Amino acid sequence: MKPNRIRQNVLPVLAAMIWGSAFLAQSVGAEHMGPFTFNTARSVVAFFFLLALCTVRRRFRGSAVRSWRELLTAGGCCGTALAVATWLQQAGMATTEPGKAGFITALYIVIVPLAGKFFLRREAPPTIWVSVALAAVGLYLLSVTESLTIQPGDVYMILCAFVFSVQILLIDHFSRRVDGVAMSCVQFFTMTVVSLLGAAVTAESVSAEALRVCLWAILYAGIFSSGVAYTLQILAQKDSNPMVVSLLLSLEAVFAALSGALFRHERMTARELLGCALMFAAVVIAQIPRDALESRYEQ
């Protein structure tokens, strides 16, 4: 397998694995802190983690920044979209069941291809639409165990899915032009500023006890879910088709279920196992027309 093919397939799966295990940390944060406050804390951790990584890379490899203006534009746009998306997700998790939240958030696997077709005029072969349909059904079987009703938290999650789709398409646009790690660092600096302003405007407050209880959740969400996973997403999307990458990223729902079974001793039902199987089938089918996709995408 070519190095680019490995990067485009393995990195988004690793990101999905980390995000799937991060729902527990986010739920702890939603119980004890406001959404802007929690996101400010996690993005600060992510920014300093990535700043340290950029410093080490610069010492051994030299500066990877070709245009500061383009880097700041890329990180600013992606960071603003990410700040809005994660705020909507965090706010929705306060009133929406985790299973339903995971399903609604991952609707970006449908929104990204539709946006690519109707707004970017980017065509996709029929097999991609088959994969999207299978993945959507798989996510439903895996995550939704109760009747799907529209609650305030559900509305937040639906809006979150749309904004995450925008973030994926923005990364698709900028990732080929700037260094991925540096872009991720600027992205989380932007998210810190936007989240901090949001916390100030909404007058969110936090106690020392809440910070103590949420410390592990902040560190995990900051270093792994934010600093590592979102950087892997940027690196994976470089020269990749965003429709295929979004399908791989949607495996976070599968890994969330597996994490629950491994660490919280939750048993997966036959319905959930069928959902996992359909999602894996969707990913396999999405890879079949890969060469045709890449040739068309590069035109």
Token output for 28: 């702890």
pLDDT computed for residue 121 by the predictor = 67
Rounded to whole angstroms, the Cα distance separating 295 from 299 reads 7
DSSP H helical ranges for the chain: 3-32, 35-61, 68-92, 98-105, 108-118, 126-143, 152-174, 180-201, 208-219, 229-237, 242-249, 252-263, 270-287, 290-297
**Each residue of 171-196: pLDDT tens digit?**
988 988 888 899 999 999 999 999 99
pLDDT computed for residue 157 by the predictor = 83
pLDDT computed for residue 2 by the predictor = 57
Q: How many CB atoms lie within 10 A of CB 88?
A: 23
pLDDT computed for residue 287 by the predictor = 63
Rounded to whole angstroms, the Cα distance separating 87 from 91 reads 6
pLDDT computed for residue 283 by the predictor = 72
- Quote the percentage of the chain above a pLDDT of 90: 34
End-to-end CA distance of the chain: 23
Residue ranges of the chain with per-residue pLDDT less than 50: 290, 292-299
The CA angle 293-297-299, to the nearest 5 degrees, is 125
**Each residue of 80-104: pLDDT tens digit?**
999 999 999 888 887 766 666 667 7
